[in-house]
Chains A and B, each alone.
Chain A
Amino acid sequence: MSEKSTPLLAVLQLLRKYNLKSTEDILRKEASLGDVECESLDLPEVELASILTAHHTESDPFTYELAYDGLKKFIENSLDLYKYELSTLLYPVFVHMYLLLILYDHVEHAVSFLEKFGIEQEDYYQEDLKKLSIVKHKDQIKGNELAEIYSTNKFTVQLSRDASSQLKRYLHEQKNSSVIINIINNHIQIEVHDGPGRTQAQVRATAGGVLGEPMKSENRTKVYYGLLKEPDIQVLPAPVEDEEEVEETPDKPKKKKAKKDNLFMKKPKSDPNAPPNDRIPLPDLKEIDKVEKGKALREASKRVQLGPDSLPSICFYTLLNSGHTAISCDICDDSTLLAVGFNNSNIKVWTLTPIKLRGMKSAEKLQDIDREAGDVLVRMMEEKDRDTCRNLFGHSGPVYKVAFDPFKTMLLSCSEDTTVRLWSLQCWTCLVVYRGHVWPVWDVRWSPHGHYFASSGHDRTARLWATDHHLPLRIFIGHYSDVDCIQFHPNSNYIATGSSDRTVRLWDCLTGSQVRIMTGHKSTIFTLAFSVCGRWIASGGSGGDMMVWDLSTGGPAASLPPAHTAPIHALAFSRDGTVLSSGSLDCTIKLWDFTAITDESPIEETLNNLIPKEDKYLLQSFATKSSPVKGLHFTRRNLLLAVGTYESSA
């Protein structure tokens, strides 16, 4: 016979594992399985266990359909309190039934099972089901990424205590059909939580991750989401009087003078949620950086206060003739430079002010300049070598992300050619090539304090690098699929990643371990943004859905109503943290009221409130003619800059 019985092959694999050679030979002879060259099942342990426990039902594929149908009916007939939570159980049971049918070679039954019950599954799982439906033979299970994920890991389902007891009672009644019990034992992790059953909205808010919802234990670590204490910066020739930041020694709070707005009214006592300044080594500020910071503070003092009544003005930079070539863009912190990465592996840097970009002098000329002069940094630039646009050549694949460092001296870019390159903005050449990812790198970001940067790629890892090490310092493993976007926390201690497995994870730079996992997105996550205070993170996905998470608990703070119709590729918070802007490929920019979103006061259930809370979040929507929005950036004075490409085709 050409098809070998699955349970027997499973037993063979088990025997091989325990090195029972003679038993194996006897079994082969008796079962007439042929010579040693026959292939054996190459399955992970969990699948083996499930085959061996369920072998007596293998011959009867009809039981699967009946069992699933029975479970579905039971769930539909249960009380609303339990219904929505229990319905999250249907999808993993369905998937594993399908895989089991394939494993036992009941392909036609499997296909009909898939057709019958596949369309009833949630819409965010349909794409995954399409990928699974390619698997039509047990040999194909190993090659299929999704099937492997499901067969090696347990799907987590959260149930309230009452719901789980209902489920147990139902399963107990199903003594003759042990299929579901076996599936639950082997492949599904049921976590029981105390509390009432969740509503449909609550369940939907956190459903969508590739392996279900996170377990409570995964979100329990303490996260220091506060901001670092700022060093003492004297802002000298300022129109405002001296503003002193909170000093590093928390002994005595300095009296504040001339407060323009809440920015400088820092809490004199230390924030319990802020990490100590030396938790991770951070570079000291050089003299010139302190001058820059002083300038930044002065600009910040002049900025416009934003809110629902005072929306920002938007300045849109359109890249012409680049509809299908410009991929990514970045604007530096003081909003004077714009960098764009192209799919022909170029990078172009433009200046957004009348000041032109200068190159550095040659070596002989550099020897002649006076190093002690105050403006040595100006003198070292070549006067004749100025241009409004500079080209950077070096990559050999599309450039997926460009990022300016906080001090405007270097540029990082990552590309499909698996490298991350560091460029100098003074010599306009490439300085270092960081090799480590062996697959395309999707995102690269600088730490807000400079020196560190993080990259994420197709190999499901995110890495933390420092500019002076050619190997990564930390590798963050945990995602089940490509890591599409990465972002540093404002205090540089944490990194958030978003991935194609529809989860957002927060990692600790100090230990490299995962501290938070947040599910709820229904599609791949393309962009992340931390709030200015560091407590919240906003994420935008490929279905146009946006979510805001609270880092202290790891739960969703708000699920914004679906407004965008195309993938969101840009998110930016205003400098005072009151307005969140989102830009998407549907050519619109939307402004959201972030203070209302994170407003923790209870909703007044008055009948006068005709507008539900969710609709108050969206402040305004701006549409461009046909320019998908690729980047958003708030200047220090709260002017919103947007970058997009003009798609001339209708």
Chain B
Amino acid sequence: MSEKDKSKSGGQAKHIPKDAQVIMSIMKEVGITDYEPRVVNQLLEFTYRYVTSVLDDARIFANHAKKKTIDLDDVRLSAQMQLDKSFTNPPPREVLLEIARVKNVNPLPLIKPHCGLRLPPDRYCLSSCNYKLKPATKKVITKTTITPSPSIKTVTTSKAPQQTVVMKRPPGAIVNVGTPKTSLGTKPVLKFSSSSKVVKPAVRVTAGPSSQAPIKMETDEPMSHKRKREDDDYDL
């Protein structure tokens, strides 16, 4: 397969070029008899790409070593690098046995009584709130008045338009009401609740294009025994 397949491009309909014949014989040797004819073309393309990249890298290595021509070692090294990049093998058995030995010694953890689904800690779940970026608007931004609360700081801007709404949620306000949910809010109501930790989210709010009324914002007093989820603002 070292000769370049110029004949591929100029191949006549009746004759199969030599490289394609080589591929077909390889397949026959491995035991594949049932394949579509396009597979041969795909394999040829792959081989061409692979060989040229290996030889390119080999030339770079030869140049680096200040050699005039490509050497066997260069080709070997570049083939090895290519292999490591694209194909990795599963770890050898000894490594696996060692890992298993370490892992299997720990006793199985007891199951705590718990209502609802038993899920890993929240950061490993996909139960966070969904974000969505709203497109910016040209409308005048209304100043929102918020009841001052120790946990929320709002910044309103009178800048025009090319801003998008980014709503940050206080971390740790993830809810487990038994099962997580997807929310479908139709009204642009923003509820902010704070967890028992004092957090200061920075919120910039700009009115959306479809806002029928100025955006209402309500805050809840921190409730330590219950964590609330807040709705997202979805443009429908």
Q: Which residues of A contact B (CB under 8 A)?
A: 37, 127, 130, 134, 145, 152, 280-284, 286, 359-364, 366, 409-410, 422, 424, 426-433, 438-439, 451, 458-461, 466-470, 472-477, 480, 509-513
In the complex the two chains form, is B181's CB within 8 Å of A473's CB?
Answer: no
Q: How far is the CB of B130 from chain A (nearest CB, A)?
A: 10
* Whole-angstrom distance between the Cβ of B70 and the nearest chain A Cβ: 17
Q: Helix, strand, loop or mixed for chain B's interface?
A: loop
- B185 close to chain A: CB less than 8 A: yes
> Which B positions have Cβ atoms within 8 angstroms of A?
30-31, 73, 89-91, 93, 96-97, 99-100, 103-104, 106, 108-111, 113, 115, 117-121, 124-127, 175, 177, 179-185, 229, 231
Residues on B with C-beta less than 8 A from A134 are: 30
Contact of A470 among B30, B103, B124, B185 (CB under 8 A): B124
Cβ of A469: which chain B residues have Cβ within 8 Å of it? 109, 120
In the complex, what residue of chain B is closest to A39 when comparing beta carbons?
Answer: B76
How far, in whole Å, are A426 and B179 apart by their CA atoms in the complex?
Answer: 8
Interface SS of chain A: helix, strand, loop or mixed?
Answer: loop
If A432-B126, A467-B118 touch, whether A424 touches B104 (CB-CB below 8 Å) is no
Contact B120 A470 (CB under 8 A): yes
Known: A451-B118, A468-B118. A431 touches B127 (CB 8 A): yes
Docked Cα-Cα span, A152 to B93, in Å, equals 10
In the A-B complex, the 10 residue pairs with the closest CB atoms? A512-B104, A470-B124, A468-B118, A470-B120, A459-B90, A477-B100, A477-B96, A475-B100, A362-B184, A281-B110
Rounded to whole angstroms, the CA-CA distance of A366 and B73 in the bound complex is 69
List 7 A-B residue pairs with CB atoms under 8 Å apart, sorted by A's residue number.
A152-B93, A281-B109, A362-B182, A467-B119, A474-B108, A480-B93, A513-B104
Residue in B30, B99, B108, B125 whose CB lies within 8 Å of A431: B125
Given A366-B181, A432-B124, A467-B118, A475 and B104 contact (CB-CB distance below 8 Å):
yes
Contacts of A475 in B (CB 8 A): 96, 99-100, 103-104
- In the complex the two chains form, what is the Cα distance from A290 to B120 in whole Å? 25
Q: How far is the CB of B138 from the nearest CB of chain A, in Å?
A: 31
Given A467-B119, A470-B120, check contact A362 B126 (CB 8 Å).
no
Judge whether B180 and A431 touch: CB under 8 Å. yes
Also in contact, A429 and B182, with CB within 8 A (given A466-B109, A512-B103):
yes
A477–B90 alpha-carbon span in the complex (Å): 12
Establish whether residues B103 and A460, one from each chain, have CB atoms under 8 Å apart when the complex forms.
Answer: no
Known interface pairs A130-B30, A424-B180, A512-B103. Does A283 touch B108 (Cβ–Cβ under 8 Å)?
Answer: no
Contacts A427-B179, A429-B182, A432-B119 known; 7 new A-B pairs at CB < 8 A: A362-B184, A431-B117, A431-B119, A460-B96, A467-B117, A468-B119, A480-B93
Q: Given A281-B111, A432-B119, do A363 and B183 touch, yes or no (CB 8 Å)?
A: yes
Least CB distance from B132 to A in Å reads 15
What is the CA–CA distance of A451 and B124 in the complex, to the nearest angstrom? Answer: 17
Give the residues in chain B near A513, CB-CB below 8 Å: 104
A422 to B125, CA, bound (A): 9
Say whether B108 contacts A280, CB under 8 Å. yes
Assess the B183–A362 pair: CB atoms within 8 A: yes
Q: From A508, which residue of chain B is reached at the shortest CB distance?
A: B104
